[in-house]
Amino acid sequence: MAKQKTKFFCSECGFESPKWLGKCPGCQAWNTFVEELETVTKTQGMQSSLLRTKEKAVSIINIKGTEEQRILTRNKELNRVLGGGVVPGSLLLVGGDPGIGKSTLLLQTSYDLTQSEKKVLYISGEESVRQTKLRADRLQATSELLYVLCETNLEQIEAAIEQVQPDFLVIDSIQTVYHPAISSAPGSVSQVRECTGHFMRIAKIKGIATVLVGHVTKEGAIAGPRMLEHMVDCVLYFEGERHHSYRLLRAVKNRFGATNEIGIFEMQENGLVEVNNPSELFLSERPLGVSGSTVVASMEGTRTVLVELQALVSPTNFPSPRRMATGIDHNRMALIIAVLEKRIGMFLQNQDAYVNVAGGVKLDEPAVDLAIAVSIASSLREQPTQPFDVIFGEVGLTGEVRGVSRVDQRVKEAEKLGFRRVILPEKSLKGWTPPASIEIIGVNTVAEALKAALG
């Protein structure tokens, strides 16, 4: 007879408790415990013993270090985000809002790999085989080496993997797959953790590159326990507005490449098309000679992206002014406003302030601080900045401008797009030679930057 017992799991981190708790001791989150019925059988114990390996520990100097042979796709943006291509035996997790284009991207990638004589198995737990076929016909992504299966039972999926022996495996999505030995519902903490563990072992033992599609919560995080992101090798987030055609694929974790790398795509009738020059895209609709608009050079992984940063300052009708930020950290914006009030003498306590990054990009590096300060000051004074200026630098609490990294790459990108001046930290001018065709202005304080940008 199987023994049944009830346990409580934290939906954020997977912490296990025999009773319900209001606050999770693991991640300190409130009201995240869910009750699940756990079934412990002798079969489960036998399965765990069969998975034990007989390998012995060896010295690290005796291990031969070989370069991983990556599988290149025809999509250069995807190759960039993955660090140079798909690594055999890796486990990837892709998350994003419903309808953002996750299945479209993976179906196109599967077709690209079949053109390199790679066998692909696409497991769909949410769409039937006919629905997947209709999508593939629309994307013109049909091949004899692309196998499709509609299944949610983990044991049946393992049998299909043994039969097909694919080089690339897609599970769409991990929340629909269930282990028959676990009594909890598909998508629960126990099911997601157990099924992900099985796919991880399959990927490592058989050398199959595996992609798991994950649902997201209302807050935008991948649903399920937080440990799901720790188990996989790479975590990709598909971002963008469903009402706009542009999509961003961001790597927040990558064991085989740079983190925070982004790939930019455009959704068209025949699927996702890569965008080769994102800076031109983000600046294509930029107005010239308007107050509150600046251009900032930001590093996204190893890529330099020039984006427009807009600010609007207007008198408030409320006792406390509103502070709204889109694309940047709200707390960082409040800090810069405090610096402008204390160090520059600007009176912003009776002004609403709105800051927006055009194009839907999220900028989280400190190098955008100086551009935010210049944009707010430009909008408050009704003085437009020079239309061919690029501004970047980190702002300190005393009003100083701190140095940033990869200055030469940022300046080269600005020169390539025809900008004439770059306002940057004075401390970042050492160790490289600026191009002769662009004017470089080094500043030490926010006051110097405002004088150079606004006169």
Query: Does 22 carry a binding-site annotation?
Result: no
**Residue 125 counted as an annotated binding residue:** no
Q: Cα(413)–Cα(438) distance, rounded to whole angstroms? A: 11
Strands 262-268 and 246-254: antiparallel
End-to-end CA distance of the chain: 82
Enumerate long-range contacts of 45-51, CB under 8 Å, 24 or more apart. Answer: 47/181, 51/201
Tokens of 387: 């239309």
d(CA 207, CA 209): 6
The answer on whether 100 is annotated among ligand-binding residues is yes
Beta carbons of 105 and 272 less than 8 angstroms apart: yes
Whether the CB-CB separation of 389 and 381 falls below 8 Å is answered with no
**How far is Cα 325 from Cα 449, in angstroms, rounded to an integer?**
22
CA–CA gap between residue 206 and residue 211 (Å, rounded): 14
Question: Which among 419, 427, 422 has a CA at the least distance from the CA of 402?
Answer: 427
According to DSSP, the β-strands at 323-326 and 351-357 are parallel
User: Helix axis angle, 330-339 relative to 369-381, nearest 10°?
Assistant: 60
Cα-Cα-Cα-Cα dihedral sign, residues 376, 381, 386, 392? negative
Q: Rounded to whole angstroms, how far apart are CA atoms 300 and 320?
A: 35
The DSSP secondary structure of 177-237, one letter per residue, reads: -B-TT--SPTTSHHHHHHHHHHHHHHHHHHT-EEEEEE-B-TTSSBSS-THHHHHSSEEEE
180 labelled binding-site residue: no
What CA–CA distances, in Å, run from 149 to 62, 88, 95, 127, 157? 42, 21, 21, 10, 9
Closest C-alpha among 120, 89, 82, 93 to residue 301: 82
101 annotated to a ligand binding site:
yes
Pick the closest to residue 103 from 21, 41, 170 (CA basis).
170
Which H or E element spans position 414? helix 407-416
103 is in an annotated binding site: yes
- Residues annotated as binding site? 96-103
- Residues annotated as binding site for ATP? 96-103
